[in-house]
Structure 1
Amino acid sequence: MNTENHGLSIGIRRVNSDFFLTLKASGKLTHEDYEIITPMIDSALTEVKQPAIRVFIDGTELDGWEPRAAWDDFKLGLKHSNQFEKIAIFGNKGWQKMTAKVGAWFVSGEVKYFESEEAALIWLSE
């Protein structure tokens, strides 16, 4: 039996006195993954009163998106673009760095790519 592991997990991470929204992506994301995670992210961000959300995205296990899922990701980013102060993308694939640069065009806050989890968390805390 071949097991296909993919999806997004969402959480809150505290580093010293700073809190971050965390997303961990794994496998090749599908439209169905976004149908499940989008309402969770929408709900989590509903109560935020100011654009001060800092996000840590772990993409080290991400293999990419199906075409419709890539569109879902883009729409989700646009919907909440004004709520993000900083987004750190921790990854290990060259295309992720380019994705971070393109994503920065559509988000009001800063977006940076890191190959070091520690460096990403330090930048988010600054």
Structure 2
Amino acid sequence: MIEKLTGLPDGVLGLRAGGRLTQQDYEDVIRPLVEEAVREGRRLRCLIEIDDDFGGLTPPAVVDDMTLGLRTVGAFDGVAVVTDLAWIRTPTQWAAFVVPFPMRVFPRTDRGPAAEWLAALPAGARIEVTLDETTGVVTAEVSEALRIEDFERLAATVDPWMHAHGELPGVVLHVRRVPGWTSLGSLLRHVRFVVGHQGKVGRLALATDVPAAEVVASVAGQVMHPQIRAFGYEDLRAAQVWAAGP
């Protein structure tokens, strides 16, 4: 059995699950809510409260769960799982390391804080990417912990230009503080992006006030192909001019 929760902050979708979930539960409640949000281009912030009598999913429901999850995984801003069941809490905590969005587990007494956490998550992209077609310099404005889709967004800008012109002259990372990653999956996508573009970027400028930036630039410059240089956060224009090359 599954039902929709009410009384939650705007933008937070709440569901309560109890007993044993069936394929019909997915067809009647979950699928319409999720697919409507996807069609309308809305990001999902989902609170899932699991009762103590929850008995898992029937086999057809497992198939529906996996199918729907694979198709809509990129549509979530965050998920809060509210439960006291240890056999749900522990796997969910591990899963939080690999899903491409923030996910946390709360006890059932903390449904309110769970909803507040979801409502407070940053909206929209964590990265804004612009390409100067004249100089071939890509500027990435990073504001929050990075998700998998942020690297897909960066690749969607960088790769077509590289295909047409070859090596990208420069990339500028404009970041006020170290952003981190929302999950292990995001970190792995970051690594894959770096490896895939190794040797194809001429210069990398770090425009940031992070104290260790100059040390990072110096060390990384010894082992990576791009020339790397650190600039102050307010020196974005100087960073872009340097990244464009001679």
Shorter-chain TM-score tier: 0.7 to 0.9
Q: What is the TM-score when the length of structure 1 is the normalising length? A: 0.74
Q: What's the counterpart of residue 108 of structure 1?
A: 100
Distance 1:106 1:25 in 2: 23
Percent identity of equivalent pairs: 25
Distance 1:68 1:104 in 2: 24
Higher-Rg structure is 2
Q: Can you give the 5+ residue segments of structure 1 that lack an aligned partner in the other structure?
A: 1-6
Larger RCO, structures 1/2 (Cα 8 Å, 6+ apart): 1
Q: What is the TM-score when the length of structure 2 is the normalising length? A: 0.41
Q: Please state how far the C-alpha of 1:91 moved relative to its aligned partner.
A: 0.5
The equivalent position to 1:124 in structure 2, one of 88, 110, 118, is 118
**2:51 is the counterpart of 1:57:** no
Distance 1:76 1:102 in 2: 20
Structure 2 counterpart of 1:123, one-letter code: W
Residues 41-56 of structure 1 mapped to structure 2, 5 A cutoff:
41-49=33-41, 52-56=43-47
Q: Can you give the 5+ residue segments of structure 2 that lack an aligned partner in the other structure?
A: 121-246
Q: What's the counterpart of residue 3 of structure 2?
A: 9
Q: Please state how far the C-alpha of 1:24 moved relative to its aligned partner.
A: 1.2
CA RMSD of aligned residues (A): 2.4
Residues 33 and 53 (structure 1), Cα distance of their counterparts in 2 relative to 1, 3 Å cut: closer
Residues 39 and 125 (structure 1), Cα distance of their counterparts in 2 relative to 1, 3 Å cut: closer
Moved more, 90-99 or 59-68: 59-68
Q: What's the counterpart of residue 3 of structure 1?
A: none
Q: Please state how far the C-alpha of 1:49 moved relative to its aligned partner.
A: 2.1
